[in-house]
Chains A and B, each alone.
Chain A
Amino acid sequence: QKEVEQDPGPLSVPEGAIVSLNCTYSNSAFQYFMWYRQYSRKGPELLMYTYSSGNKEDGRFTAQVDKSSKYISLFIRDSQPSDSATYLCAMENTGNQFYFGTGTSLTVIP
């Protein structure tokens, strides 16, 4: 079983839709959680990071962490064509080791 599971998609939504991206994990030692956005042929760009359960909001993006269920989500409101990218979740355990999901490919159709 992988440490971090992420549905690869692809996910295709119309412009303006609310997008929900999710990751599950198995190791309760994960303490810090991140979402990265990766455009084609570019490196991952940090979008959100958090260490606590609950919600963290930044503009149209909301990161949600549920440690009891070992489940994290990224919500994108009013999605735009410029949001079309691959989204990676990442987690860090108490030993400073990072684990990444394989990424979900998102296309927002104008």
Chain B
Amino acid sequence: DVKVTQSSRYLVKRTGEKVFLECVQDMDHENMFWYRQDPGLGLRLIYFSYDVKMKEKGDIPEGYSVSREKKERFSLILESASTNQTSMYLCASRIPGGNQPQHFGDGTRLSIL
């Protein structure tokens, strides 16, 4: 079974802090994704990475950056946290190519005070 592990289940930070969310997958997947999930809005793609050191902006990249130095690890960085970034953050990974679904971690519920 695919295992996608997010380092924190719950996180509380203050406005203006730099926040790091970590994600690790154990299946040697090339593709990795970061989403945020908000009630009524569903999943929105922040950034994705096709492979090591590669990254592409998703639909809502503003205020975020990412890092992929190793294949198994994909980090999401909130450069200067703001209250509107309070959300559930989900990491996913997959084998590239069609008909390959994404596999998700259990999410990090982030609160910015």
Complex Cα distance A15/B4, Å? Answer: 32
B104 touches A32 (CB 8 A): no
Binding stretch for chain A, among B12-20, B38-46, B75-83: B38-46
Instruction: Tell me the smallest distance from the CB of A52 to a CB of chain B, in Å.
Output: 10
Map CB proximity to B onto A42-54 as digits: 1 under 8 Å, 0 otherwise: 1111100101000
Contacts of A100 in B (CB 8 A): 42-43
Complex Cα distance A98/B6, Å? Answer: 21
A42 touches B101 (CB 8 A): no
A46 touches B43 (CB 8 A): no
- The answer to whether A41 has its CB under 8 Å from any CB of chain B is yes
Complex Cα distance A94/B99, Å? Answer: 10
**Which bracket fits the contact residues of A?**
20 to 34
Contacts of A41 in B (CB 8 A): 107, 109
Q: Which residue of A lies closest to B108 (CB)?
A: A43
In the complex, how many residues of chain B place their beta carbon closer than 8 angstroms to a beta carbon of chain A?
Answer: 20
Instruction: Tell me the smallest distance from the CB of A5 to a CB of chain B, in Å.
Output: 11
Contacts of B97 in A (CB 8 A): 96
B42 touches A51 (CB 8 A): no
B96 touches A46 (CB 8 A): no
Partner of A34, one of B90, B96, B101: B101
Complex Cα distance A68/B103, Å? Answer: 28
Instruction: Tell me the smallest distance from the CB of B54 to a CB of chain A, in Å.
Output: 14
- B residues adjacent to A (C-beta < 8 A): 4, 6, 40-43, 45, 90, 96-99, 101-107, 109
Between-chain CB contacts (< 8 Å), 27 pairs: A31-B98, A32-B99, A34-B101, A43-B4, A43-B6, A43-B90, A43-B104, A43-B106, A44-B90, A45-B104, A46-B104, A49-B99, A49-B101, A51-B99, A88-B42, A90-B102, A92-B98, A92-B99, A94-B98, A96-B96, A96-B98, A98-B102, A100-B42, A100-B43, A102-B40, A102-B42, A103-B42
